[in-house]
A and B are shown apart, each in its own frame.
Chain A
Amino acid sequence: MSAPALRIRGLRKAFPKVVAVDGVELEVARGEVFGLLGPNGAGKTTTLEIIEGLTEADAGDIEILGLTWAKQGQEIRSRIGVQLQSTSLFNKITPREALDLYGSYYPKRRSTLELLDLVQLQEKADAYHITLSGGQQQRLALALALVNDPELVFLDEPTTGLDPQARRSLWDVVRRMKGEGRTVMLTTHYMDEAEALCDRLAIMDHGKVIATGTPASLIAELAIPSVVELTFEGAAPDATAFSARLDQAVERRGDLWEIPTPDPKALLPRLLEAAEVAAVPFQQVHVRRATLEDVFLHRTGRSLRE
């Protein structure tokens, strides 16, 4: 158990029009939930698919559970669990059959009933795959990723397209995986998901890892623990003049202003006074803790959702 769950060095993959992965280095310890956070097109999925053995890298070394694809491919496959970004199964296979079938591919397997129970699909156990809802299909994909009792589980955007309630129940399953001692690596473009689930994470942009650490340490490194948000009725006015008057950076983000500050208590009275004088027609003032979204914004100058 000495080798880390995953160690990646100098990973690179170029497609004809874009360098998808550009020198990624990562290390994931056993038993942790590790997140790859980044906007669409950052290279998260390509990185994950190279690790899973679906895509061949142009350069770089990967060690999974101390094993390499070149020498121990079959052993890696039997010890990892994978949920692809979209899992396309045969239309008329049922969850029970799919779990039985996929289980039969592995030397070690968990019981189908236990897995159906874990992802709460007992009632849909004998329904055709095509009749399941998006959330149910996603949960079946998650159960399939656990069918071989894997040590290391890869989840590619497990909650994309799910409603809030389905997301919460999926988070619970991920937390249980961690409780069972599994290592989990997931990708997401939701910062709240990364904050809620991940012990550590790497933020990716344009194929590069731009920051690594625990969610708390990444936010702390920003040195701006809080953000004051001003909202308006309709579009926000131009902030340049106001920023000069306040002697403080005021950023316009869509229909609101954001003012990052290490000390919201001192800022608020000054802000309200200046707004009164300049007749800024704000509706609400909202003070919030800085999030991973702000970390991404700070490092790239862009929003995660852009």
Chain B
Amino acid sequence: MMLWRQFAMEWRLYSRDRVAMFWTFAFPVILLLGFGTIFRDGGGPKLSVVRVQAPAPGPQDAALDQALTDLQLKVQALPKAEAEARWARGETAAQVETEGTGYRLRLNSYLMAQAGATAGLVNQAWLVAQARLSGAPEPGRIPITVESPGRKHSDNYASFLLPGLLGLNLVSMGLFSVGMVNVSYREKGKFRRLAVTPLPKWIFLLGQVLHRLTVTVVQAAILLLVGRLVFGIQNQGSFLDLLLIMTLGTGCFMAFGFALSGFAETSEGYAAISNLVFFPLMLLSGVYFTLDSAPAWLQHAVAAMPLAPFLRALRAVFNDGGTLAGHGVGLAIVAAWGCAAFALAVRRFRWA
């Protein structure tokens, strides 16, 4: 009863703050519409190579250009001066230029992930071009398929983007907005009057977590609806599984926010503390780069972090139509982090 009132009042007060509510629901939709439209055709960004135009193009140059295009590289042919200017601006990942009777490939050391992949394709294209010029049989190629871990792949970039947006939004809401609001309310003395009532801290905090949980569900529902109407993205798995994953994830990251707010005296202090947690969580989650070359102890530590298993389960259900069967351990990790964070939040919570 007490919990229900706390929860209902949170929602009521929240619904009166129109500006905050609008941004909570509109921001992820705007991101989805923006990125989804930019990369509408094809599966996300394409590899490209800058081709410095030869002073007097011969048949060899024509054959190479043809082979590059056949291998699905985006070729940008530029005169020497323009190509050099572009290189100097740092916008080029890989550049092919004539040298003597052959060619030279320059790779940008700052963009090695793209440049490395491009280099492989350029070399392959050169082999194809040489074979065509000499009339020899074309070298055979191993066929490539692009697949998600659940063996499904949509060419629609927005469908890849959507679960990531859902997850990222939830983490940033938990770590940044929820915790920050909590600290600033405490600074303004909004909780002081509650300290002299018998209201238990855990009910107060759980009421807020439940409120945020339902906000996230509404937020996700809006995003899914827009994704479906505008981009035709379908949830491949069951909605019940999706709800369960979102509930666990939201509960976990909201609890993180509340726990961290117990360690900050001021809003400024909170900004520092939340970044301290956010960046390792993101960078070590395996979302941005794989950690295959990291030391073993770090890999073990990272395996026990909550963000990666949460995102994996979310994508497996949403994009691949999988079930939760293979994600039991991962979701248990998320739940365990959530419970530990909530216990810490209750322990550290101060009314004033």
Contacts and interface: CB of A to CB of B under 8 A. Distances in A.
Interface stretch (A29-37, A85-93, A119-127): A85-93
B197 A77 contact: yes
Given A88-B188, A93-B13, A54 B196 contact: yes
Nearest to A141: B193
Interface in B1-56: 1-2, 5-6, 9, 12-13, 16-17
A78 interface: yes
Contacts of B189: 86, 88
Given A92-B17, A104-B1, A80 B196 contact: yes
B190 interface: yes
Contacts of A106: 197-198
Nearest to A144: B193
Nearest to A90: B13
A89 B188 CA distance: 10
A102 to B, nearest CB: 6
A82 interface: yes
Nearest to B8: A101
B190 A90 contact: yes
Contacts of B243: none
B193 A105 contact: no
Contacts of B5: 100-101, 104
Interface bin, chain B: 20 to 34
A53 interface: yes
Contact of A88 (B1, B2, B190, B196): B190
B9 A97 contact: yes
Contacts of B188: 88
B192 interface: yes
Interface in A30-88: 52-54, 74, 77-78, 80, 82, 84, 86-88
Contacts of A74: 198
A254 to B, nearest CB: 36
Contacts of A82: 193, 196
Nearest to A145: B196
Interface string A97-131: 10011101110000000000000000000001000
Contact of A97 (B6, B12, B190, B195): B12
A88 B191 CA distance: 8
Nearest to A82: B196
A105 B194 CA distance: 9
Interface string B57-87: 0000000000000000000000000000000
Contacts of A104: 1-2, 5
A97 B11 CA distance: 13
B197 A88 contact: no
A89 B190 contact: yes
Given A92-B16, A92-B17, A97-B9, A102 B192 contact: no
Given A54-B352, A93-B13, A97-B12, A102 B190 contact: no
Chain A interface, >50% SS class: loop
A78 B198 contact: yes
- With a 10 A CB-CB cut-off, give which of B1, B9, B188, B198 has the most chain A CB atoms: B198
A53 B196 contact: yes
Nearest to A75: B198
Contacts of A92: 13, 16-17
B208 to A, nearest CB: 13
Interface string B119-154: 000000000000000000000000000000000000
B189 to A, nearest CB: 4
Nearest to B203: A105
A54 B198 contact: no
A111 to B, nearest CB: 16
- With a 10 A CB-CB cut-off, give which of A77, A97, A105 has the most chain B CB atoms: A105
B287 interface: no
Contacts of B16: 92, 128
Given A92-B16, A101-B5, A101-B9, A87 B193 contact: yes
Contact of A84 (B6, B17, B192): B192
A53 B352 CA distance: 12
B58 to A, nearest CB: 76
A105 B192 contact: no
B145 to A, nearest CB: 55
Contacts of A80: 196
A97 to B, nearest CB: 7
B197 A105 contact: yes
A52 B198 contact: no
B199 interface: yes
A71 B16 CA distance: 40
- With a 10 A CB-CB cut-off, give which of B13, B188, B189, B193 has the most chain A CB atoms: B193
B2 A84 contact: no
A88 B12 CA distance: 18
Contacts of B190: 88-90
A104 B190 CA distance: 18
A161 to B, nearest CB: 17
A106 B31 CA distance: 45
A116 B192 CA distance: 22
14 contacts: A54-B352, A77-B197, A77-B198, A82-B196, A84-B192, A84-B196, A87-B193, A88-B189, A89-B190, A92-B16, A92-B17, A93-B9, A100-B5, A102-B197
Interface of A: 52-54, 74, 77-78, 80, 82, 84, 86-90, 92-93, 97, 100-102, 104-106, 128, 141, 144
Which A-B residue pairs are the 4 nearest by beta carbons? A82-B196, A92-B16, A77-B198, A105-B199
Interface of B: 1-2, 5-6, 9, 12-13, 16-17, 188-190, 192-193, 195-199, 352
Given A87-B193, A93-B13, A101-B9, 19 more contacts: A74-B198, A82-B196, A86-B189, A88-B189, A88-B193, A89-B190, A90-B13, A90-B190, A92-B17, A93-B9, A97-B12, A101-B6, A102-B197, A104-B1, A105-B2, A105-B198, A106-B197, A128-B16, A144-B193
